[in-house]
Structure 1
Amino acid sequence: MSTPRAAVSRRGFLGLIGGSAAVTALAACSTGGGGGSASRPLKFWNMPWGGPQFNPTDKQITLGYKPASGLSTPTYQAVQWANFTQTFATAMASKTGPAVSSGGGTQAFQFAKQGFIAEADDLVDSWKKNGIYDDFLPGLLDTMKTPSGYVAVPYNLDMRVLWYNKSLLEKAGAEPPTDWQSYLDTAAALKKIGVYGFAANGNASGGNAFQMIVGFMINNGGGIFDAEGKPNLVTTANIQALEFIEENIRKGYVDPGAISYTATNSNSQWKAEKFGMGIDVPGLAANVGGTTAADLVVGDPIASDSGKKGALYFPNNIMMYKNTPSQKDSEAFLTYYYKHMAELWTKKTGIGLPVLKSIASTPEFQSDPNQVKIVKVWQPVAKTWAAPGGTALFSNVSYVDSTTPMNTFMQNVLSGKTPKESLTALQTTLKGEIK
């Protein structure tokens, strides 16, 4: 992924266009339909998940599919992230959309609510017989399972993990942290050499520190939503997490300018060796580049004061729609695609972390120890926006994924408002928006 904020825009969906009302209005124009024949092509729409080579490689994989007799031949369309929400919403309403696509991370859950999504239960059942089901990393498929069925299947992963600069820690005479207290100790040692030990980027339009903040809440067993999918923020676990962040700010471990930093600014601070430790994206080293990149190391998940471990992650997904030549067509294509998509990683096209163990075990992926550690050590303890009440995503998470309330929450925390004030303000806003 090119920048953290770009990654956010890829996951956020209806939150970016003001909630579900916009699509509801479009949905009223028509409903998704099924049926069809092999004479009708199977449309696959995918996003530019990586660098310049991603979509050409992806298109080659897609068009390499040779359907069985009676099934449809695929077509391929790359959908740009700019205005992608409107692109999909308009396509759904006019029945001109794809049979299969990726998209924003909460898109499938919103479109399922509107009746456009073809659930993937039969597909998942078939994968139990051909080995694909057992190839998924632990718990991933569960993130897509709602009470009515699987609304999508995991495709690639993004998450927020601990990074540190090994040369700066060595210079400071410090060790990588293992818990919150040792994090504070390491940050204190970094401060003595003029380095900030708690990286953050809190710009309201180009930062993603709200993800880091929620990650620490999850680290302590907290989060945003309860078991009923309702916001429940003013909890002991969340207050303790924000108190930990507040302590880092109070002790001068956070760059005072961080509240206005974009992800680009943050990368520059890492590159200039002004940031020595912090929670950031899996591609941080690649984003920073230069000689500093070789010194950036993924640490272990740290234990909170309550002894818990955890992190925030985003299982980006692929979904099927009711508007398809046939459900059999969509399922056959996706089975082919998942059996052949490894090239997107082995050719290092820049896509996020893999969801399949077989891809994570390839020599090409194993060549990057940081990425290997994220998949092996961080993914098993990571949780979605649904935490702590659940595992599976649901439509309400669109209200917290790259939205104005979360940007305000981020700035409240970084500007020094008390944990209870920040959490109460977000709770009040979300309760007013989520009906």
Structure 2
Amino acid sequence: MSKLETKRRNFLKGSIVAAVLITAAMPAFAQQATINFWDMKWGGDDYANAAQALVDKYNSENPDVKVVYRSVPRSNWYETFVTAIASGSAPDISTGASVQAVQLYDQGAIMPVDEVVAQMDPNDFAAGTLESMKYDGHYVALPWGLDVRVLFYRKDILEAAGVAVPTNWEEFRAAAKAVTGNGKYGLVASGDPGGMHWILAAGPNNGGGLFDADGRPSLTSDRTLEAREFLGSLVSDGAVNPASVGYVNDDARGSFIRGEAAFLFNGPGLPDLAPADVRPNIEIVPPLTGPHGDKGTYRSVNNIMIYNQTQHPAETMAFMKWWSGNQLPLWTEGHNGNLPARNSIAADAYFQDNPNVKYIQDNYLPIGKPLGGNAPGSFPQLNAVDGDGSCSA
């Protein structure tokens, strides 16, 4: 072997050794964590676009994590998630309906998020909402959106009939009956969950509800029965559009917006769904007083939860905390139909400068009762009511 060849081999050997030593000294690159985020469609296309933009922002700020966003239809949501859990293909994190986290936690599918809550200011959540996420001694989710049922009326219809805005049940029944005729009805409802919300709201409006303070079923209690009979009286008066039974929520909204009914029980974003020339005629009925002096309505607390199947619990919890505090664009750009559960977000001018939303925040949210009626928090028995998604809209 020539001296030149020997030098060349020694040089290559030294280079290889040096490369090995340098590689050993370098920190190992962590593999990018992929987090699958399933988000129910809480609005139109604008909502999904705004949510995707938020996810993109998080990914750009956290290059070691890749959150993959998926918009999930609200129809058949329960079957969607239960099937995914059973097949081992559940997401790492998702938003969900009012008792979804408790339902799925009871099935062993949801991870407690106590350590996330411990890093947050509990006073930044609307009263009672954070505690409604507590079950079995753990926080099973974070509240993010509030869906409260509000009674709206058509100012033009009431004025044309010379009917005053009602303040109690008796006046409401009389007003609904007085405006019925000539192709118009006192109120329109729907045969889907949107119609069920009339029952869920009428109970608390009379001091009742689906469950009593001890968590026992109270659908047949005196106060709840009285509320159901009141709703029945509206039908017997002929004041309810008979097509309501075949309507879905969008049908009922459309009928109201077209001026075919004077009253509609719906979500806080209803006025913004109407054409600009119709909005001035849509106003809010002040919370009605029940026959025993009670005021109340139905309020659901939609939540965001983490699944036990996740392979990246720490990264998923970090994303959950970030998402909870950065959701404002879901309303300002995505036109989310809920109201925010975070007080810091609800204080934004987007909400405070909207007179309808401001009125609902101040007058309807405080009297809202959850699916459990007078029972505190969430509990497994609610699965019998909402386990198939029948009350979610």
What TM-score comes out, normalization by structure 2 length? 0.82
- Say if 1:271 and 1:290, in contact at 8 Å, map to a contact too: no
Change (3 A) 1:405 1:156: closer
SS state at 2:186 partner: coil
Deviations 1:246-304 (A, max 9, x none): 33233332233333333344234313322112322323334453633331112221110
Aligned to 1:353: 339
Change (3 A) 1:266 1:92: closer
CA shift for structure 1 position 344: 1.0
- Say if 1:38 and 1:325, in contact at 8 Å, map to a contact too: no
Which runs of structure 2 are paired with 1:403-422 in the superposition (5 Å)? none
Partners of 1:169 and 1:162 lie apart in 2 by 14
SS state at 1:101 partner: strand
1:171 counterpart (152, 157, 160) = 160
- Say if 2:208 and 2:224, in contact at 8 Å, map to a contact too: yes
Aligned to 2:222: 236
CA shift for structure 1 position 385: 0.9
Pair 1:186 & 2:175 matched: yes
Partners of 2:238 and 2:49 lie apart in 1 by 47
Aligned to 1:321: 307
CA shift for structure 1 position 311: 0.5
CA shift for structure 1 position 195: 4.0
Partners of 1:102 and 1:174 lie apart in 2 by 42
- Say if 1:346 and 1:365, in contact at 8 Å, map to a contact too: no
Question: Partner amino acid for 2:81?
Answer: F
Q: Quick check: 366-375 or 79-88, which moved more?
A: 79-88
Change (3 A) 1:80 1:261: closer
Change (3 A) 1:116 1:261: closer
| Aligned-pair identity (%) | 30
1:344 counterpart (330, 343, 365) = 330
CA shift for structure 1 position 136: 1.6
- Say if 1:345 and 1:359, in contact at 8 Å, map to a contact too: no
SS state at 1:380 partner: helix
CA RMSD of aligned residues (A): 3.0
- Say if 1:120 and 1:152, in contact at 8 Å, map to a contact too: yes
CA shift for structure 1 position 70: 11
Q: Quick check: 392-401 or 219-228, which moved more?
A: 392-401
1:395 counterpart (368, 373, 380) = 380
Aligned to 1:162: 151
- List runs of 5+ in structure 2 lacking aligned partners: 1-29
2:368 counterpart (354, 378, 382) = 382
Aligned to 1:300: 286
SS state at 2:170 partner: helix
Partners of 1:46 and 1:250 lie apart in 2 by 41
- Say if 1:212 and 1:280, in contact at 8 Å, map to a contact too: no
Aligned to 1:279: 265
CA shift for structure 1 position 219: 0.8
Aligned to 1:18: none
- Say if 2:168 and 2:291, in contact at 8 Å, map to a contact too: yes
**Paired residue total:** 363
Pair 1:197 & 2:190 matched: no
Question: Partner amino acid for 2:91?
Answer: P
Partners of 1:279 and 1:236 lie apart in 2 by 23
1:146 counterpart (128, 135, 142) = 135
Partners of 2:247 and 2:336 lie apart in 1 by 24
Aligned to 2:320: 334
CA shift for structure 1 position 158: 1.7
Partners of 1:144 and 1:268 lie apart in 2 by 34
Aligned to 2:15: none
Partners of 1:334 and 1:274 lie apart in 2 by 43
Aligned to 2:12: none
Question: Partner amino acid for 1:342?
Answer: L
Question: Partner amino acid for 2:153?
Answer: Y
Change (3 A) 1:66 1:246: closer
Aligned to 1:369: 355
Partners of 2:171 and 2:295 lie apart in 1 by 14
- Say if 2:35 and 2:92, in contact at 8 Å, map to a contact too: yes
- Say if 1:197 and 1:275, in contact at 8 Å, map to a contact too: yes
Change (3 A) 1:200 1:68: closer
Question: Partner amino acid for 2:231?
Answer: I
Question: Partner amino acid for 1:301?
Answer: P
- List runs of 5+ in structure 1 lacking aligned partners: 1-36, 408-435
Report which of the two has the higher share of strand: 2
What TM-score comes out, normalization by structure 1 length? 0.74
Considering only CA atoms, is the larger Rg found in Structure 1 or Structure 2?
2
SS state at 1:314 partner: strand
Aligned to 1:261: 247
Pair 1:75 & 2:68 matched: yes
